[in-house]
Amino acid sequence: MHTGLHVNGALFDTEPPGLASRLVGLRPYQLGATPYEHPGEPPFVVFAGGRGLGKTTALLELRDAYRGHTPLALIDGEDRQFAAPPAERPAESWSPVGQALTTAAEQLAEPVKGAGRIGFPRLSSGLLAVTAGGWSTHDVPRLRQEAERILLLSRTDSWLSGLDGRWVSKAISKLVTSMSGTRPVVEPIIEATLEAFTEGVAPAHRRLRRAATWYRDYPGAGGSPKLALVLLSRHFRAGGDSRRHAERHLVRAMLADLDDAYAGVVQRSNRHGRPVLLIDNVQEPGGLGLLEPVLRDRADGITDQVVFFAALRGYAHPALRNAGRLALPEAARETGWRPGISPSSRALLVALPPQAVPGG
């Protein structure tokens, strides 16, 4: 049961259902289904307010309420891992957004009741492309370590009895042997990744093949997945608006992988409720780098079914200028939220009441 963080139950009530139940489609701490208030597109909910109103506490309780019942991740934009690249990682191949996507996908992948792991092959192939921009032929130990972390995002529970580990080892060996001391490593790494993703006949390999072709619509790629990933890596390393363009596609790749996990009759019957991504301190670069692409894509008609709850320090932000606004008690039975044309209208700013217990 919830701790009574919000005495009016606007967030965690089950009968009648509160805000969390209506957006996630599951009652907190239960597997009982609840009708969606917004079946087509959920609002990107942002808890707003100063310190001490309980924003962080609300996110932590949402995590406890839905962890193990539906795919879920919690990241904090102020976490040190999003502040700067590791000492051995070149800045041009790292960003807070890429780190946030990796961290979130690792949590979202975990099995839940009634359903196995979620694989992220689209995201992992994109992350490999941008990470390879910081590799050289002298970086084989680091290549193996970073490639293994990224490739394991492609793993699903259909790869049992060590098959996943053997596939990852084989893929990494393919990446290493593709490198030579006479040319940049990005293109051979991408070629080896696509080759590894397109071989095999098992259902898991069929999913990898579909993922390998997903990037062919990347602007300028002309239908070529290889050229698309080369351009993605190049844009990421360029920084500025080019990097933001690449990051937007990486965010879209993660959401497409999540959507794929719910595709088909069997998957939908085994998965209850929507996946949940919780972002504390969303005003930081790692948080904004997720929020802004999601809002832009939703405004452009590129839909997803992920429920986002975020915490914002303060009551306003330029990225949320046209967001809907209401106090948490007003969301107890329905939000009344309707998106407009602008990306920021896809968000819903929810002010927490002063009676919430302290917690960030």
Tens of pLDDT, residue by residue over 130-173, are 998 888 777 788 888 888 899 889 887 654 434 455 667 777 88
**How deeply is 86 buried, as exposed, middle or buried, from its count of CB atoms within 10 A (0-12, 13-18, 19+)?**
exposed
Contact by Cβ (8 Å): 36, 307: no
Q: How far apart are CA 45 and CA 308, in angstroms?
A: 6
pLDDT of 358 > 80? The answer is no
Residue 7: pLDDT band (50, 70, 90) is very low
Query: To the nearest whole percent, how much of the chain has pLDDT over 90?
Result: 63
Judged by DSSP in three states, 266 sits in helix
Average of per-residue pLDDT across 87-112: 95
Bridge partners of residue 160, in order along the sequence:
none
Q: How far apart are CA 130 and CA 230, in angstroms?
A: 9
Lowest-pLDDT range of 27-31, 136-140, 194-198 = 136-140
pLDDT of 14 > 70? The answer is yes
Instruction: Provide the sign of the torsion angle of the four alpha carbons 311, 312, 313, 316, taken in this order.
Output: negative
Judged by DSSP in three states, 36 sits in coil
Contact by Cβ (8 Å): 29, 11: no
Residue 113 identity (one-letter amino acid) = K
Structure tokens at 136: 């050289």
Output the pLDDT for position 134.
Answer: 86
Output the pLDDT for position 160.
Answer: 41
What's this model's pTM, rounded to 2 decimal places? 0.92
178 vs 56 pLDDT, higher one: 56
